[in-house]
Amino acid sequence: MINVKDNQIIINFSGSLVSLGPLRSDLVSYYNRWNNDFQTTKTLASTRPVILEEEVSVFEQVAKSRDYIFFTIYEKETLLPIGNTYLSDIDYKNRNAEFNIVIGEKDSRGKGYGTEVALLILDYAFNISGLHNVFLKVYEFNENAIRAYKKAGFVECGRRRQSHFIGGRLWDVIFMEALATEFGDSAINKALSFEVKAEV
């Protein structure tokens, strides 16, 4: 168990429940544990064992890539790491990306953290990174996630029927999206408290 008091934790921005900060090399063992919990990964694209060396290699790759923006999710009150979230396949020319989230700590599920993370990432994507369309994929059995995404402003934009096999049956893959023009006020911009002054 990492003693967070002994580590300098960098927080990029926060909501009322969670804080988001950069990936940390000293948390790779956490990321590896989450990616080996099949109760967690059943809602992700891949459910297979991941050895620590592979996790380290992936960490090093995404740390250098401009196609991903990763954040560690912390419970705001305790600053304990509870998951990660990221934008993938970022296309700056066409201003779109895919949203992904993992709440790795079981005790942190069902508390509204996922909804707030989705809102924070949309805010970051639209108001900091200049993206316009953020989409996600979710399996039809993941009803809690679908509700959370809808609360955050995602709407269903299509589905691929019976295209994901798990638990002995085939499930639909649901596609959802959110647009910058349909997003509300930016909490991040308010927190930055800056104003642009025209030079004469």
Would you name the residues annotated as active-site residues?
Answer: 149
- Contact at 8 Å (CB) between 148 and 113? no
How far from 85 is each of 18, 20, 54, 88, 160, CA to CA, in Å? 12, 9, 19, 10, 24
**Strand-pair partners of 21:** 72
C-alpha to C-alpha distances, 44 to 62, 128, 184, nearest whole angstrom: 18, 27, 28
* Residue 149 CB-half CA count within 13 A: 24
3-state helix, strand and coil shares in percent for the chain, rounded to the nearest 5: 35, 30, 35
Residue 37: is it exposed, middle or buried by C-beta count within 10 angstroms (0-12/13-18/19+)?
Answer: middle
